[in-house]
């Protein structure tokens, strides 16, 4: 059972716990549609049956072994053109949390978290826009905590990396404090550039040669920047100029 926290300013003051649900993001969207929420409300479940990831993928997690939850925010202070800051803020909070336990933690664009080169967390952010404002942002988070067996070879968990079993309720509250701290940093306009720079600092492939699948060929390159709209800027060895890519327009090559 997950309870609300008193150690944050915004996130986690109200926690809705569901033993099982299809998708915490969908439940959060229903709550928003009904108008029955306060900013920072969290929807969490032990067993997410139809979890969704980026680019139409599915997020799967063993019931009762990991953290799967969604946070409802109302970041109407962020211009639509700068909405990628929400993604950057979330990724930085997750990276900082995981870095407590694992030394090598990187953000893989746009907001996956990798520990020792393997995916430990995924994020799905769904923004609602009205006019020129972001009215609500639903941040869905899947974080592998105690799961030890995965279907593929590129996923991991805190327990797998540290040989320690964790108490989910304690880790939930610990993570909420990181999310709350970074969100309050985001609420200060003067901190936006710091968020952008920290994101780049911890971004996989930033100023570091990695491999990509581009136009059906595997090529080397390195990340030079990320635009305010969230496009990734990459200098490929086969191209004369830095190119910008949106989701699905270029693929990382694992390993």
pLDDT along the chain (255 residues), means of 10: 94 97 95 95 91 56 92 96 97 98 98 97 96 94 96 90 98 98 97 98 98 96 97 97 95 85
Distance CA 233, CA 191 (A): 22
146 three-class SS = coil
Q: What is the pTM of this model?
A: 0.95
**pLDDT number for residue 63:** 84
Task: Give the per-residue pLDDT at 51.
Answer: 56
- pLDDT score, position 151: 83
pLDDT of residue 28: 97
pLDDT for 241: 98
Query: Which runs of consecutive H residues, i.e. helices, occur in the chain?
Result: 24-34, 84-99, 158-162, 168-186, 192-201
Find, among 87, 88, 117, the residue nearest to 204 by Cα: 117
DSSP structure class, residue 189: G
Q: Which pLDDT value is given to residue 50? A: 65
pLDDT at 60: 66
Do 234 and 253 form a contact (C-beta atoms < 8 A)?
no
Q: CA 255: distance to chain centroid?
A: 22
Note the pLDDT of residue 74: 98
């Amino acid at each position: 059972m997950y309870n609300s926290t008193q150690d944050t300013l915004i996130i986690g003051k109200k926690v809705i716990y569901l033993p099982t649900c299809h998708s915490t993001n969908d439940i959060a969207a229903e709550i928003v549609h009904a108008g029955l929420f306060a900013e920072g409300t969290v929807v969490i479940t032990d067993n997410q049956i139809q979890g969704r990831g980026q680019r139409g993928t599915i997020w799967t997690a063993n019931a009762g072994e990991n953290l799967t939850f969604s946070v409802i925010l109302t970041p109407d202070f962020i211009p639509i053109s700068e909405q990628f800051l929400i993604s950057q803020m979330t990724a930085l909070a997750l990276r900082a949390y995981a870095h407590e336990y694992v030394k090598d933690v990187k953000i893989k664009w746009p907001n996956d978290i990798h520990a020792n080169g393997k995916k430990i967390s995924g994020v799905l952010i769904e923004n609602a826009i009205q006019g020129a404002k972001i009215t609500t942002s639903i941040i869905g988070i899947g974080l592998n905590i105690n799961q030890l067996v995965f279907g593929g070879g590129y996923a991991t968990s805190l327990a797998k990396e540290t040989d320690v079993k964790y108490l989910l309720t304690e880790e939930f509250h610990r993570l909420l404090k990181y999310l709350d701290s970074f969100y309050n940093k985001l609420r200060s306009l003067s901190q936006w550039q710091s968020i952008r720079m920290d994101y780049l600092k911890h971004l996989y492939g930033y100023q570091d040669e990695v491999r990509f699948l581009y136009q059906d060929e595997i090529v080397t390159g390195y990340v030079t920047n990320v635009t305010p709209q969230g496009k990734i800027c990459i200098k490929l060895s086969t191209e004369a100029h830095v190119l910008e890519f949106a989701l699905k327009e270029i693929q990382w090559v694992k390993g």
